[in-house]
Amino acid sequence: MIRISKYIFSWVTLCLLVVNCDSSDDTTNNPLSGQWRIVSIKVSEETLTQRSPSEERILITFATDGNFSGNTSVNQFSGRYELEGATVTLLEFTTTEVADTTFGTAFYEAITTAIVPDQTFAQFGFSFESQDLILIFGNSGEMVLEQE
């Protein structure tokens, strides 16, 4: 009876260790996870950088399951994304379509500019500068986001 109890205890302990090892911290594997606020947008080399007006917030949340969602001042958006190396690809992007503010319009223009030619997805290179997330796209386009 003691042997069986030791065997069961050993087996349960091993199972718990395996489960704990598998449930790694997703933020380590996904540096984008969390909520981000867009602080500036430069659509291309030919455009000026627009800074977020103090009363306006564009937020985007990257979930660890590959979904994202967010809002401008008047619209909501969501979709699916994929990370590969230092590239994030927006595989799906849906949004409401109410006339937006100047800063909101710049955001949607940036998404449109990031669409890969002859494809249906938008793609961004990304890096981190201090605590900011920098999304790079198109012809010198750049969005700077800070974590909320």
List average pLDDT for each run of 10 residues in the chain, which is 148 residues long.
49 41 55 97 92 95 98 97 97 96 96 95 97 95 96
Q: Where are the beta strands (DSSP E) in 85-121?
A: 87-95
pTM of the model: 0.79
For strands 141-147 and 132-137, give the pairing. Answer: antiparallel
CATH code 2.40.128.270 for 25-147: yes
Within 10 angstroms of residue 73's Cβ, the number of other Cβ atoms is 14
pLDDT of residue 46: 87
